[in-house]
Amino acid sequence: MRDAASAHTLDPGGYEAELRRHDQVLRRACGVRLHDHVLDVGCGAGQTTRQAARTARAGGALGVDISAPAIERARELARAEGLRNVTFEHADAQVHRFPQQRFDLAISRFGTMFFEDPVAAFTNIGRALRPAGHLVMMVWQSSERNEWIVAIRRALAGSEGSGAAASAGPDPFSLADAVTVRQTLDAAGFADIAFSEVREPVYYGPDVAAALDWVRGFACTGETLNGQDPAAAARTVARLRETLSAHLRDDGVWFDSRAWIITARRP
């Protein structure tokens, strides 16, 4: 959920904790079955892939991600859990040569927003699905509807007015617009395209110190702090700490967020 990919995807404990509420929603929406063969796009360290594999005990799951370190970590975790029906590949889903008509279900948790050519990417994913196979993905709604990014960018900008802009890297909100996504998936050959709103909070840690450490790992935070002199950086960190303190509850630091569950079918 960073402005761009970050090392947080290699910290399964923190990243899974951050998205714990979203994970529950996605699992229900996917409805993985015993014999399913599942493709997990942008799987990161493989939490959602392993979950799918545990449910599809008579089938299996393949997770793909463009991050080689994330894939290696996913393999380590799968071996540690003794899962034999899950595999991981370092691959770009936009161009990777998947076996055609191999999978019953393609899933993704915030892993499909970064394609250079979305139509080409979803066309490629569609070829990997069997007829009547389904796509179920979770993506962010627009940035202004996500308190976590609005609040963080405001703290980064401060009175200096710098640092509020999005990172120059990949855009995590590229699939926020329903009209554009419908056009993209339709052009990629999908049918029965539907959207369900998800409003669940994200978790940044048990206290302000842990949350600040987590937020400092965001790409936008790093870019801002690295471009400031020590005094300005100290003021920025103080603003971040104040923002996080305002979102501290008895059970940790939470921010509101809005996402979509997007479903579609291969005819």
Domains of the chain, by residue range, sit at: 7-143+169-204+256-265
Q: Which residues contact 265 (CB under 8 A, 6 or more apart)?
A: 132, 133, 134, 135, 190, 191, 192
- Closest C-alpha among 59, 247, 264 to residue 182: 264
**What's the whole-model pTM score?**
0.91
Residues 6+ apart with CB under 8 A from 50: 61, 74, 77, 78, 81, 83, 86
Enter the tokens of residue 8.
């947080």
Q: Are strands 252-255 and 202-205 parallel, antiparallel or unpaired?
A: antiparallel
For residues 186 and 266, is the Cβ–Cβ distance under 8 A? Answer: no
CB neighbours (10 Å) of residue 175? 24
Three-state DSSP string of 169-231: CCCCCCCCCHHHHHHHHHHCCCEEEEEEEECCCEEEECCHHHHHHHHCCCHHHHHHHHCCCHH
Read off the tokens for 177: 């617009």
Fold of 7-143+169-204+256-265: Rossmann fold (3.40.50)
Helix (H, G, I), strand (E, B) or coil at 115: coil
Tell me the pLDDT of the chain (267 aa) as tens digits: 333 344 455 554 578 889 999 999 999 999 999 999 999 999 999 999 999 999 999 999 999 999 999 999 999 999 999 999 999 999 999 999 999 999 999 999 999 999 999 999 999 999 999 999 999 999 999 999 999 999 999 999 986 554 444 555 679 999 999 999 999 999 999 999 999 999 999 999 999 999 999 999 998 999 999 999 999 999 999 999 999 999 999 999 999 999 999 999 999
